[in-house]
Amino acid sequence: MDRKAGKKVYADAKSALDGLLFDGMTILAGGFGLCGIPEHMILAIRASGVKGLTVVSNNCGIDDFGLGLLLQTRQIKKMISSYVGENKTFEQQYLKGELELEFNPQGTLAERLRAGGAGIPAFFTRTGVGTIIADGKEAREFDGQTYVMEKALKGDLSIVKAWKADTAGNLVFRKTARNFNPPVATAGKVCVVEVEHIVEAGQIDPDHMHLPGIYVDRVFKGDAFEKRVERVTTRD
Amino acid sequence: MPWERDDMCRRAAGELEDGFYVNLGIGMPTLVANFIPEDVSVTLQSENGMLGMGPFPLHNEVDPDLINAGKQTITELQESSYFDSATSFAMIRGGHIDMSILGALQVAQNGDLANWMIPGKMVKGMGGAMDLVAGVKRVLVLMEHVAKDGSSKMLKACTLPLTGAGVVDTVITELGMFRLRDNKVHVIELGTGVTLDELRAKTEADIAVQ
């Protein structure tokens, strides 16, 4: 893989994912609900027909948008998520035993990804102590408090949505669309990013980068993001 | 009449102190924001990566990149900041958030909380609830006192799978406000017109009256 600055820019989702997809792989996906999801890459993965996927993502989209599209085509074998409540296809496949599911508390999921990208194989947390989440996991006492051990998460591929990238792969996110994207970006063997704007290196103040380009292997500008909103709520 | 929803939310808002950083759960807890007294300045945290959550937008202000943890569109304030999910939960787990207000299926007198799954029914997931109750300094539960089938939700011990063990500090229901201390439910205030007899009839947990 050519990680040199300037060689990271690809034309579209299909070319950016070329050679990276294989059956049975683990994909880490950024986003929270439908906010900040790599919608172009999800469509390209669907079109590729790759199957038996383990997908790590806080949520699993809705029936007809986001990761839900990969459920429709039964490309997902297992989800690791914190909340999957918005998706009937998910519920049906899960209840029929066609889909495996591992629930992680949201902060534990985020930290497992962060640890995966930071070379930390496991960590101890109070989250889940005394609940079924702690069953079968090592527990330890520190300063009189009980903690449970959680292991790092890594993947074959990270798919990320950012607002803006420069040609060196430095990223800027926008508002709450940042969410899981930075930790996801760090924890995959390869990281592909879709953005709304690509600028030349030097056009973003180095003090204003949210994620340094070292984590980014390939980047492309998506056209016409749909950015669907789950619950439009207004005060007027 | 016992307390209405607005009364419960107003009472919960009364527990907030000037300068608090607070996380409000989905549903009734979200409404507490509407009852924060004017002389109390509270910063709302949204666990999907924001501090300083503003009100819902006007129709022409809706931004798909700006939502709360309930996936509703929101707005930002002058003091708002954004961060990623790992940073957000470091803030929560690290004890930097002063209070979390959330709903419950069951609360036990020892502070155990169950609010994420009913065995045999489709489980949607715990989202950030387990992290919040384990990490936030004080957990306040806002819930109805009895379940739809008439059974008490204030128990000696939870029968549903736990979200956290010994985590709840205060409970507000239509029947009053309660603090959980020394394995008992201490009555701080009764709802309008609520008698101790009515409270006892609807509560399985051990009650202590000051």
Q: Do B130 and A183 touch (CB under 8 A)?
A: no
Query: Which tokens hold the place of A129?
Result: 């102590």
Q: Check whether A87 has a pLDDT greater than 90.
A: no
Contact A126 B93 (CB under 8 A): yes
Clarify whether B47 is annotated catalytic: yes
Q: Is B168's Cβ below 8 Å from some Cβ in A?
A: no
What is each CA distance from A178 to A86, A172, B43, B65, B84, in whole angstroms? 21, 9, 20, 9, 6
Phi, psi (deg, nearest 5) at residue A175: 50, -140
Spans of all domains in chain A? 9-127+139-220
Candidates B194, B89, B67, B186; CA nearest to A233 is B67
A236: distance to nearest CA of chain B, Å?
Answer: 5
Per-residue pLDDT, A1: 54
Mean pLDDT, to the nearest integer, of A45-71? 97
CB distance A127–B134 less than 8 Å? Answer: yes
Contacts with A231 from chain B: Cβ below 8 Å = 67, 70-73
ipTM: 0.96
What confidence tier does A16 reach under pLDDT thresholds 50, 70, 90?
Answer: very high
Return mean pLDDT, chain A.
96
**Under 8 Å CB-to-CB from A71, ≥6 apart: which residues?**
A60, A61, A63, A87, A89, A90, A93, A99
User: Of B38, B47, B144, B204, which residue is the catalytic one?
Assistant: B47
Is the CB of A120 inside 8 Å of chain B's CB atoms? no
Contact residues, chain B, for A109 at CB < 8 Å = 85
Return the amino acid letter for B193: G
Mean pLDDT of chain B: 96
Residue contact B83–A178, C-beta within 8 A: yes
Q: Is A220 on the interface with B (CB under 8 A)?
A: no
Query: pLDDT at position B13, please?
Result: 97
Q: In Å, how far is A38's CA from the nearest CA of chain B?
A: 13
Which residue is closest to B166 within chain A, CA to CA?
Answer: A130
Nearest chain A alpha carbon to B64:
A229
Query: B152: which 2 tokens?
Result: 């008490």
Chain B, nearest residue to A96 by Cα: B122
pLDDT for position B48: 98
Does B34 reach chain A within 8 Å, measured CB to CB?
Answer: no
A83 at the B interface (CB within 8 A)? yes
Report how many domains make up chain B. 1
β-pair partners for B177: B172, B189
What is the per-residue pLDDT across A117-153, written as a single tens digit (0 to 9) for each? 999 999 999 999 999 999 999 999 999 999 999 999 9
CA–CA separation, B131 and A77 (whole Å)? 27
- CATH tag, A9-127+139-220: 3.40.1080.10
Residues of chain B with pLDDT under 50: none
Listed by number, the residues of chain B in 188-207 with a beta carbon closer than 8 Å to a beta carbon of chain A are none
Mean pLDDT over residues A201-217, rounded?
A: 97
Of A85, A176, A183, the CB nearest to B82: A176
- How far apart, in whole angstroms, are the C-alpha atoms of residue B205 and residue B200? 9
A131 and B50 within 8 Å at the Cβ level: the answer is no
Q: Is B91 an interface residue toward A (CB < 8 Å)?
A: no
Give the pLDDT confidence score for residue B122 in this predicted structure: 79
3-class secondary structure, A26:
strand
DSSP secondary structure code for residue B60 in this structure: G
Which of A233, A235, A236 best probes binding to B when mutated, by most B CB atoms within 10 angstroms?
Answer: A233
Average pLDDT over residues A211-231: 96
Cβ–Cβ under 8 Å, residues A56 and A63? no
Q: Tell me: pLDDT of A41 over 90.
A: yes
Range of the domain at B105: 5-209
Which pLDDT band, with edges at 50, 70 and 90, does A205 fall under? very high
Residue with tokens 């459920």: A71
A2-11, A80-89, B116-125: the lowest-pLDDT one: A2-11
**pLDDT at residue A4 greater than cutoff 70:** no
- pLDDT range class, residue A3, cuts 50, 70, 90: low
Higher pLDDT, A87 or A215: A215
Which residues on A lie below 8 Å from B66 (Cβ)?
Answer: 175-176
Give how far A102 is from chain B: nearest CA, Å: 9
CATH of the domain at B84: 3.40.1080.10
Which of A37, A79, A84, A131 is the best substitution to test chain B (most B C-beta atoms within 10 A)? A131
Q: Determine the residue among A91, A175, A209 to mutate to test chain B binding: the one whose Cβ has the most chain B Cβ atoms within 10 Å.
A: A175
